[in-house]
Amino acid sequence: MIPLETAMLAELGRLERRADEFTGMQVDSRRVGAGDLFVAIGRGENFLGEALERGAAATLVPGDAFAALARIGRAVRDRSSARVIGITGSMGKTSTKDILAALCMPSARAIAAEASYNNEIGVPLTLCRLEPDTQICILELAMRGFGQIAALCEIARPEIGVITNIGPVHLELVDSLDGVRRAKGELIDALPPSGTAVIPRDFPYARDDIDVVRVAEPEARSADGRTEVGGVSFNFTARHQAQNAATALATLDALGLPRPVRVDVDFSRWRGEEDELPGGGLLINDAYNANPVSMRAALAYLAERAGDRRRVAILGDMAELGRTAPAYHREVGDAAATVGVDELLAVGELARGYLDGGVPGRWVPNVHEAVRELADVVRPGDAVLVKASRAVGLEVVAAALTELTTA
C-alpha cells in the first residue's frame, strides 16, 4: 500500500500507534502483517492484542466504522496515479472483474478486488492495496438501494464505469427495473468529464461529456473446454461468461491495453465451479448468488453440460425480490421444466414456487435438511446444479456432494 501517516487516524477513533506510518489495512486480525493498520469493526475490538502481536503498525477502534474506512481509502486513492475502473451490474460483475484482471495482468501492474469485496468495507480495503507503481485498479461496486454506488464512487473516483447488465435484483428497496437502472446509473453519473462508460446496448444515459462504449452480444466459439471471444481464447465454456468476456474486452480496449491471445481466468469461488461426482457425474457449484436472469442462465448451462446425464437442480430462494418474489420463483420453475430438469430439490420458503413448474421434486426448509435429502435425490452419474441467493448458504450442499467423491 502507498504509505500513510498513522497520525491521520487520531480523529477517527481510539488509536494505538506502534509506528509513524502504515502500509496496509485489515479488518480481520488473522490477516494482519507487519506494518498494517488493524481497524476493529464489530467484535474486532476483542482482537486488538492479536493484531499488535502480528506486527500491526497501529490499531484503530473507529467511532464510525464506514466513515473511517472511507476516509482511509480516499486518502490512498488521492495519492495514487492508477486508473480506476468501477464495475457494477445486476449479475456478472464479479466474473467480469475476474476476466478483466486476467486480461490486464500481462501488460500492466494491476490489482482487482478480492472475491466480492464490493461494499463500504471491501472497496476501501481494495484501495488500500494500491502501491506507488500500480497502474490499474479494478473495483466491484455493489448496491442494496439508492445512493450506495454514488457513495462508493465518491471514495474511489473511477474514470471508467462498467455496467454488465440490468435485471430484477434488490427490488425490495428500488421497487422496479427502472429503479435498478437508476441505482446502477449512479456509476455513470459519477464519472469525470472525458471518462468512459462501458454499458449494455439498451442502457440509457444523459451525458454528452463522456465516451460511451456499448457492448453487443458477442460471437463466441467453444471447443475443447475453451471459448474464443473477440480473438481471445478463454478457459470457460459457459455461454453467459462470453458476454462478461465481451464487456471485459471492451474495457481493456478503453484502457488502451493489448488483447492477449490466450487467457486463463481464476474465477472467484462458487461461481459455476465444476467438480466430478461419482459414476461420471458433474457438479456445477454456482451457490454464491442468484436472481431470475442468472437462474435461467445456470439452468440452460446445466442442460448444455449434462449431455445424456440425468439433470438435477438444487435451487434455493432468490432474495430481495419484494412483492414480485413468488412470480419470479414460479418462472424459474417453468424454466427448469423447459430445459429438461429431471428432479428438483427446492430449499427455502420462497423456493416452494419452483415446484409449480411441474418438475418432479421435493421441498425442504433449509440447507441442513437439504443435505439429508441428497442420498435420495442425487444418483451416480447425475449432472447437478446448486444455486441460490447468498443468504441461503447452499455451498454447504455443494460441499456435501463433493465429499461423495472421496467417500
Confidence class for position 306, pLDDT limits 50, 70, 90: very high
Q: What is the mean pLDDT of the chain?
A: 94
52, with CB counted inside 10 A (0-12, 13-18, 19+), is middle
The pLDDT of residue 171 is above 80: no
All domains of the chain, ordered by start, with CATH? 4-63 (3.40.1390.10), 73-263 (3.40.1190.10), 273-405 (3.90.190.20)
Q: How far is CA 168 from CA 94, 181, 271, 330, in A?
A: 17, 10, 19, 14
**DSSP H or E segment with residue 111:** strand 110-112
DSSP secondary structure letter of residue 404: G
Distance of CA 74 to the CA centre of its chain: 22
3-state helix, strand, coil in the chain (%, to 5): 40, 25, 35
pLDDT of residue 404: 67
* pLDDT for 169: 75
**Contact predicate 172/317, CB 8 Å:** no
Instruction: Name the residue type at position 384.
Output: V
Angle at 38 between CA 138 and CA 268, to 5 degrees: 35
Q: Which three cell numbers stand for residue 245?
A: 468476456
Q: Residue 302 has what pLDDT? A: 96
For residue 109, give the 3-state DSSP assignment.
coil
Give dist(CA 66, CA 183) in Å, integer.
Answer: 20
pLDDT tens-place string over residues 189-244: 999 999 999 999 999 999 999 999 999 999 999 999 899 999 999 999 888 899 99
Whether the pLDDT of residue 407 is over 80: the answer is: no
Mean pLDDT of the region 262-286: 90
pLDDT(170) > 80: no
The closest of 238, 345, 233 to 286, measured between CA atoms, is 238
Q: Cell 472525458 appears where?
A: 194
290 close to 318: Cβ distance less than 8 angstroms: yes
What's the whole-model pTM score?
A: 0.84
Mean pLDDT calculated for residue range 255-260: 98
* pLDDT reading at 374 higher than 80: yes
The residue-averaged pLDDT of 101-113 equals 97
pLDDT value of residue 405: 56
Strands 58-62 vs 36-39: parallel, antiparallel or unpaired: parallel
Which value, in Å, is the radius of gyration of the alpha carbons in the chain? 22
Q: Where are the beta strands (DSSP E) in 32-176?
A: 36-39, 58-62, 83-88, 110-112, 136-140, 160-163
